[in-house]
Amino acid sequence: MVSTPALPTERRDRYAPLVANRLTGASSAYLRQHVDQPVDWWPWGAEPFEEARRRDVPVFLSVGYAACHWCHVMAHESFDDPEVADALNRDFVAIKVDREERPDVDAIYMAATVASTGQGGWPMSVFLLPDRRPFLAGTYFPPVDRGGIVGFPTLLHVVSDAWRHRRAEVVTQAEEFSDAVERHVSVADRLAPVPDRIEVPELRRRLRASVAKRITPAGGLGGAPLFPRPSLVLALAEGEASERASAFRVLDAMSHGGLYDHLDGGFARYCVDDEWRVPHFEKMLSDQSLLAEAYAILGRRHDVEEWRAVARSTLDFVVRRMAVAGGFASSLDADADGVEGGHVVWSPDVAAGVLDARPDADAARTRWNLHGSHDINGGWVPRLAPAAPFRTPTELLDVEDALRNQRSLRTQPGRDDKVVLEFNSMLARSLFATGDADDARRGRELLDQLAATHGGTTWWRTADHGAPATAGDLAWYVDALVSAYEVDGDDRWIDRATVVADYLLDHHWDGERPRAGRPDVGGGVFLSADGVTDVPWRVKDVTDGSVPSSYAITARSLARLALVTGDLDRLSVAQRLVGLLAALAGEQPAAVPDLIEAAGFAFEGVQVVVPGGPHPLTAQVRSLAVPRTVLITGSGRSPLLEGRREGWAYVCVGTRCSLPLADGEALRREIEAAL
């Protein structure tokens, strides 16, 4: 649970009516961080906008998440300040939103922020009319004017003055912002579907060429700040020898640098430099899941034990540090005891206290970079030399334990315990990707738990039913269910995936649903469901960011489900999603890498059929970890199992299937030929 410093007694007395405010008992740890502030915060909903209309004041919307460092900074600098609170409470209605609970709200107003400033980020600070239209947007604002950036108190005064004395200008600006938001949220509607055959291999080639240009000699994915983008690395790893080498360089650089926590495990959100040296210390469940899956897949595909070790260590960290009742927590904070990275960074004195009396001190300093020039806050971020093994050598295990024990004595970062369907479904997929039986058991248990806590006649994003499920939540869950079926061939996973996929299309699809005889209809998927009425626009989430877009995962999950069930109508929906964005994929492939991956399943998917129970041939298929392939096994109802002999394998593409194969090497060659 994330803790929040208490208000001084005199401030509690002054703001006693607000201490037990509307955020008390909120499902979001981020909202609860702001409970004791003097600002009269409202959660998102109809009521604060009605209040703004009644009082004839604008709305101030603050969006962030529990692990966000700069959200904490602005909270302490501005929202804890009584004078700032006076201005907010007097002249505005203030709303707090957790972007992880309401990604649809975040997406709408992030579009306004990017239109206003050219870039986005959190905390996001947006001023709205009482009808929810934005008229001014930014991110972090300092407590005083500095460095050419207006201070937050100054901004509040300027906005309030404009509202009172230049209302027409404010409304005009809102109309301009609304046009920009409308263009963003409807980008999929303004793209002409590609009418001709979609050349998926050419899309992949363009994507690899685009990504290869970004790779730096240090294994960076462009300039600072550096974000891990596993989908880009996976795409590049399919290419020619030079492209594969670039992808492998990125994998090694991320796992050896400061992005990875070499004493506690897990990946940070991003690095602030261009060489993966100094992280921004928050840890997100989504990053752990996506990166663990990428390392597991490529470790199996290329038989690299070190990458498998990275995946193993990352998943062990998640199980150890992020397990909560009903699933896994969404994040760990960037800050500890009010200091960014205070739980990770080693000061010279603290490092000396652990190492100086030990005979292996020099070797430890060399392995974990506890020497030389400082990285941040007068200390060092542990990272490995490029040639160092990822696993700690046996002779340094004792000193590793000593360093880890000392670090455990420090104040630890807060944890956001909400169980998000999307992030937990990602984790289930990564557990299935390792090929380990215990991981597969954990993945199945997690999927069953999510069905019990997030599902029913209505699906929810969070276990407490505080936020409705998005298209991304549902699509990731379907995708994880298909992965569970690939592991054990049990029809119950496909039965559940079919129900959830139908729910997704019933509540998120725009227009007529495509089918095999009528494939060119429908406008794609909305992020929010048709029953969500508290947002001014329904967003179509089409470009990939820190997580794949809901468009891409919907296409991938429906295509994979269609391939294992032989459902051509469902495959038509996946193909329609790709067709709607094929022009964007051709022009800006790096903006939609996960859609291009989904296109491979939708148009070129390979079905490997191995009837019956566990068999060496199924193990062979899993060990190859080849792209664009689904495994159909067991003795269930899939039409591809009908009339086929146990103990033999068949490789199918479209309507063509290979002759029965009983030899693992022959099976490998047939799969590679099909790709």
Q: Please give the sequence-ordered ranges of beta strands (E in DSSP) within 371-513, or none if there are none.
A: 415-416
Q: Report CA-CA distances (Å) from 170 to 56, 159, 161, 174.
A: 13, 9, 11, 6
pLDDT digits (tens, 9 = 90+) for 114-139: 988 888 899 999 999 999 999 999 99
Model pTM score:
0.94
> Domains in the chain, ordered, with CATH?
9-185 (3.40.30.10), 216-416 (no CATH), 606-674 (3.40.30)
The rounded distance, in Å, linking the Cα atoms of 596 and 208 is 11
213 has a pLDDT exceeding 80: yes
At residue 195, the pLDDT reads 62
Q: What's the whole-number mean pLDDT along residues 35-41?
A: 95
Q: What is the CA radius of gyration of the chain?
A: 26
pLDDT confidence bin for 650, thresholds 50/70/90: very high
Mean pLDDT throughout 527-543? 94
The pLDDT confidence band at residue 185, using thresholds 50, 70 and 90, is confident
Name 212's Cβ contacts closer than 8 Å, sequence gap at least 6: 236, 239, 242, 243, 246
Between the alpha carbon of residue 673 and those of residues 566, 630, 651, 666, the distances in Å are 21, 15, 10, 11
Q: Over pLDDT 70: what percentage of the chain?
A: 96
- pLDDT given at position 141: 95
Whether residue 13 has pLDDT greater than 60: no
CB < 8 Å & 24+ apart, contacts of 500-503: 500/455, 500/459, 500/474, 501/474, 501/557, 501/558, 501/561, 501/570, 503/459, 503/474
- How far apart (Å, rounded) are the C-alpha atoms in residues 431 and 447? 11
Q: Which residue has the higher pLDDT, 42 or 655?
A: 42
In 2-87, DSSP assigns E strands to 41-43, 59-64
Given a cut of 60, is residue 243 above it in pLDDT? yes
* pLDDT in the model for residue 296: 98
Residue 159 pLDDT exceeds 50: yes
Judge contact between 198 and 578, C-beta under 8 A.
yes
- Contact between 638 and 660 under an 8 Å Cβ cutoff? The reply is no
Residue 104, φ and ψ in degrees, nearest 5: -70, -45
Q: How many helices (H) and strands (E) does the chain have?
A: 27, 18
Interval 86-115: pLDDT, tens? 999 999 999 999 999 999 999 999 999 998
Q: How far apart are CA 491 and CA 509, in angstroms?
A: 26
**What is the amino acid identity at position 390?**
F
Burial of 659 (0-12, 13-18, 19+ CB in 10 A): exposed
Residue found by looking up tokens 């807060």 in the block:
414
pLDDT exceeds 60 at position 584:
yes
User: What is the Cα 592 distance to its own chain's centre?
Assistant: 14
* Per-residue pLDDT reduced to its tens digit, 430-457: 999 999 999 999 999 999 999 999 999 9
The average confidence (pLDDT) of the chain is: 93
Residues 336 and 411 sit within 8 Å (Cβ to Cβ): yes
Whether 313 has a pLDDT exceeding 60, the answer reads yes
6-10, 218-222, 318-322, 561-565: the lowest-pLDDT one: 6-10
Per-residue pLDDT for 675 more than 70? yes
Characterize the bridge pairing of strands 41-43 and 59-64.
Answer: unpaired
